[in-house]
Structure 1
Amino acid sequence: MNTAINAAPHTSEQLVTLFNRCFESTENTRLLGGATEPEYLPATSERGAQIHFTQNYFASALHEIAHWCVAGVARRELPDYGYWYAPDGRTPAQQAEFERVEVQPQALEWLFSVAANWRFRASADNLAMGLGPSEHFKDAIYQRAVSLTVDTVNPRVYQFSRALLARFQPGQSTAWLFAPERFARESL
């Protein structure tokens, strides 16, 4: 179970450094903070791909990295991976669609949070409508997170998980991280 307290020394700059060290040269992708809204920009002939996360929030950086890790090669050639997105103020039907597509990235964000010794919070991302994450959504995130412990994750997930462990939990192994007991439904 993840019982970390969100406190120093966690900074978004640490995540930027770790991510860029892992992927800037091999994947031609950089992580950048300070954005008003998160955004993914594919590589162009002038620059590599860019993942922009909100302000300098640690959790926003982890979440946007998770989206990048979910996206396949073709999706990484499209702005914002070609996904549908409706901003804050979604209707209940739009919220249900949001929750459907957010299960995988939020499960990965939870995995990265555990590796970074950071408290994960499921996000409905719909404050204006007063809709928090539904119990169904939390159940789906939990089930997907546990399945990540037995499924083979893609090399980017594995590499970034190892980098997070080395920085935030030296001495812990990926075997420790990829264990179902790291994820407790009641913590969501």
Structure 2
Amino acid sequence: MFEQLFYERLNTRLLGGAEEPIYIPAGLATEDADISPVETYHRLYFRHDYLSSALHETAHWCIAGTQRREQLDFGYWYSPDGRSSQQQQLFEQAEVAPQALEWMFSIASGQRFRVSADNLASDEGASDDFVRAVAERAQSWCAGGNLPSRGRLFIEALGNRFDCAEPLSQDHYRLEALV
């Protein structure tokens, strides 16, 4: 579905099988032995065959502007497991929009969604403020608050494919659904 929507128009393919998710712009070389070194199209890789990873990476791609889509992994920093509380707070701030959009993709495709702190080395899950911010962003987008256009297109396509009649209804995106 991603390819049907975005390959011809934006020269981007969504590909599974990666050890770690990564976005590689067209023409950029990579040293990863599992990934072809250079391609003429943009590549958005998700982990193995995990649907949640595909939806999450697609959310990042839908949010990224033109300049970010010309940079390896959209130019984002990533700090692996074992983040300090300050690093975790920065991570959560950066992840509000992608996780809200991933939630919307999950609803549209009938998949389960869980907010992720993505810090397995920590005993703590996502902070209450982060969970609340994810819910508020999804609610805002449903109310007409500047939903990224590629995200809207993908939500509508998923909703049609998986028979979700109103994937942009605020009723789906209540805080209680995340806790």
Same fold (TM over 0.5): yes
Matching residue within 149, 154, 168 for 2:148: 154
| CA RMSD, Structure 1 to Structure 2 (Å) | 1.2
Secondary structure in 2 matching 1:32: strand
1:120 has 2:113 as partner:
yes
Residue of structure 1 equivalent to 2:88: 95
After superposition, where does 1:15-164 map in structure 2 within 5 Å? 18-44=1-27, 46-150=39-143, 151-164=145-158
TM-score, normalised to structure 2, is 0.89
Equivalent pairs counted in the alignment come to 167
Q: Partners of 2:77 and 2:120 in 1: how far apart? A: 19
Q: Partners of 1:79 and 1:130 in 2: how far apart? A: 31
Q: By how many angstroms is 1:36 displaced?
A: 0.6
Q: Partners of 1:160 and 1:59 in 2: how far apart? A: 15
Higher relative contact order (CA 8 A, sep 6+): 1
Q: By how many angstroms is 1:168 displaced?
A: 1.0
Q: Partners of 1:169 and 1:152 in 2: how far apart? A: 24
Contact 2:13 2:44 in 1 (8 A): yes
Letter of the structure 2 residue corresponding to residue 153 of structure 1: L
After superposition, where does 1:162-181 map in structure 2 within 5 Å? 162-169=156-163, 172=165, 176-181=166-171
Q: Which runs of 5+ in 2 are unaligned?
A: 29-38
Secondary structure in 2 matching 1:52: strand
Can you list the C-alpha shifts for 1:23-56, whole angstroms capped at 9, x where unaligned?
1111100000011101000112841100000111
Higher helix share: 1
TM-score, normalised to structure 1, is 0.85
